[in-house]
Amino acid sequence: MQVIIVSDAAEGAREVADVFERVLRDAGAVVLGLATGSSPLAGYRELIRRHREEGLSFASARAFLLDEYVGLPSDHEQSYHRFIRENLTWHIDIDDAAVLSPQGQAADPIAEADRYDRSIAEAGGVDLQILGIGSNGHIAFNEPGSSLASRTRPVVLTESTIADNARFFDSREDVPTLALSQGLGTIREAKEIVLTATGENKARAIAQMVEGPISARWPASCLQLHPAVTVVVDEAAASQLELTDYYRHMRRVAQEESLTSRS
């Protein structure tokens, strides 16, 4: 993993957007994996700015969402189908029909999960996946205890995740208890991953993901097995890491080598 420790959310957003811009400019017809929730929002705002002010184009891209609540129609104000459009894709030049997500109202959630997993593979897989992380170490809706080889499937949300998400609904009782989520095995098939987190409440999860043992107790720790992961965290989220001096040293050396290679 490459761990980048930033001073604030704005710097983190630029780092995340830099990864997206490199892949978009290098890969052509790129397949993006998009996360919802609060963690990627600053990065999405920076991508929108670069599209509007610097001409960064998403016209040849396709996108797959990580997850969706079971039971919510796609136009529900808290559906992830709607979230990603309001916070990113309606503001850039990607074709709306190319932004795909699991169907939360499917009559057979298991069959829908299998269909969605196959559709990602049929698209050639995800070139770049952005992730957030929950305070309990979940990525997408892969809660603690998820198989590290899991595929897209219906999942039961933990009480802590329901409580965390209740702020977006009128009441806790309105939060769905099931979701369709890409599995840890599905996510790890992305060619490149960027994960972003801010705040002290994410510090333990980040430490376990980066430096802890690989364990279903901390689902994000499976990313240690991936060959191309960039972790962008602020000082607070990095506060429980033990090797911060080394990560900063690695970053300085990488920047110096990049500068040398361009001179």
Pairing of strands 229-234, 153-156: unpaired
CA torsion 232-237-239-240 (nearest 10°) is: -100
**What 3-state class would DSSP assign to 16?**
helix
Q: What is the layout of strands, in order, in the sheet containing 62-65?
A: 2-6, 229-234, 192-197, 128-131, 31-34, 62-65, 99-100
Catalytic, out of 15, 46, 67, 192:
67
Catalytic, out of 46, 112, 138, 142:
138
Concerning whether 67 is annotated as a catalytic residue, the answer is: yes
Residue 251 burial (10 A CB sphere; 0-12, 13-18, 19+)? middle
Number of other CB atoms surrounding residue 230 within 10 Å? 19
Contacts of residue 99, Cβ cutoff 8 Å, sequence gap at least 6: 34, 62, 63, 65, 84, 85, 89
159 — phi, psi (to 5°)? -60, -35
Which among 1, 58, 67, 3 has a CA at the least distance from the CA of 247?
Answer: 3
Residue 216: how many CA atoms within 13 Å on its side-chain side?
A: 8
Catalytic, out of 68, 112, 143, 192:
143
Concerning whether 138 is annotated as a catalytic residue, the answer is: yes
End-to-end CA distance of the chain: 27
Concerning whether 143 is annotated as a catalytic residue, the answer is: yes
Catalytic, out of 68, 136, 142, 165:
136
Q: Which residues are catalytic?
A: 67, 136, 138, 143
